[in-house]
Amino acid sequence: MSTPTLVFIGGGNMAHALINGLLSDGTPPDSIIVAEPDAERRERLAANLGIRTRDDNQGAAREADVLILAVKPQVLESVARDLSAIVRQRRPLCLSIAAGVTHTALQQWLGEEVPLVRTMPNTPAMIQAGATGLYASDRVSDEQKDQAERIMRSVGITQWVEDESLMDAVTAVSGSGPAYFFLIMEAMEDAARKMGLPAETAHLLVLQTSLGAARMALENQNDLADLRQSVTSPGGTTERALRSFEQNGLRGIIEQALTAARDRSVELSKTTGKH
């Protein structure tokens, strides 16, 4: 069975991360094409990754078995409409990694009959530690869904949602989520320094503690509440801190923040997607 040709429209950071992941998974470099208008970026991609590059979207799309739309949401409509005739003729599997652009809008721009998967990766994909939500309509076959999942799994975990409206919740939880943890780590660092720890010590302790907690959660069969209780001794320091979090409404603050992010994602989808 021949290796499918993967064509990226756009050679930015997320495309670069996906290509790195695919190459690490054993995808042949000559099966990947990037269409990128910036000559310097094209040269860098070709030199560093050994892939093929093109300076025109249409020429690249004509070779696509899988077409990955990796351009900014603001220009996606014009790019998609420019490719629609080729896409309708070739019928490649199309993946969008543009935040906030709905499946409905993409189908209108590309063609209703085109197999299309909408994805929402997050920035840790840059280090192959990402989390990606995916949505596909009924016209996408199981084989194509597997293909889309293999591509996105090259940079981390993947999770499908059955209802596209849940992609706004995915955006709120994992798409925006890394920034929440950076804020919490930043606040912990600030508090540690105020308690007298040197800045470097505070920084390293917070980062390693965050990493260790995440690894324990990933590698343990127990749920998060059980893990929390397992490291909380009655009457101890951890219990005192957790009680303070609860008394100050931490759960409510987090719920309000994620709801606000979800609602903003809905607003942006309506604006960017124009539907």
CB 168 within 8 A of CB 269: yes
**pLDDT for res 45:** 93
Query: 52-54 and 32-35: which strand pairing?
Result: parallel
Please report, for the chain, the start and end positions of each structural domain, with discontinuous segments joined by +: 6-167, 177-269
pLDDT of residue 99: 86
Q: Give the per-residue pLDDT at 275.
A: 42
What is the 3 state secondary structure string of the chain?
CCCCCEEEECCCHHHHHHHHHHHHCCCCHHHEEEECCCHHHHHHHHHHHCCEEECCHHHHHCCCCEEEECCCHHHHHHHHHHHHHHHHHHCCEEEECCCCCCHHHHHHHHCCCCCEEEEECCHHHHHCCEEEEEEECCCCCHHHHHHHHHHHHCCEEEEECCCCCHHHHHHHHHHCHHHHHHHHHHHHHHHHHHCCCCHHHHHHHHHHHHHHHHHHHHHCCCCHHHHHHHCCCCCCHHHHHHHHHHHCCHHHHHHHHHHHHHHHHHHHHHHHHCC
Q: What is the CATH architecture of 6-167?
A: 3-Layer(aba) Sandwich (3.40)
Per-residue pLDDT at 1:
55
Upper half-sphere CA count for residue 111 (Cβ side, 13 Å):
16
Fold of 177-269: ProC C-terminal domain-like fold (1.10.3730)
pLDDT per residue rounded down to tens, the chain (275 residues) = 578 999 999 999 999 999 999 999 999 999 999 999 999 999 999 999 999 999 999 999 999 999 999 999 999 999 999 999 999 999 999 999 988 899 999 999 999 999 999 999 999 999 999 999 999 988 899 999 999 999 999 999 999 999 999 999 999 999 999 999 999 999 999 999 999 999 999 999 999 999 999 999 999 989 999 999 999 999 999 999 999 999 999 999 999 999 999 999 999 888 875 44
pLDDT of 268: 86
pLDDT of residue 3: 87
Q: How far apart are CA 36 and CA 39, in angstroms?
A: 7
Residues 113 and 191: their CA atoms lie apart, in Å, by: 55
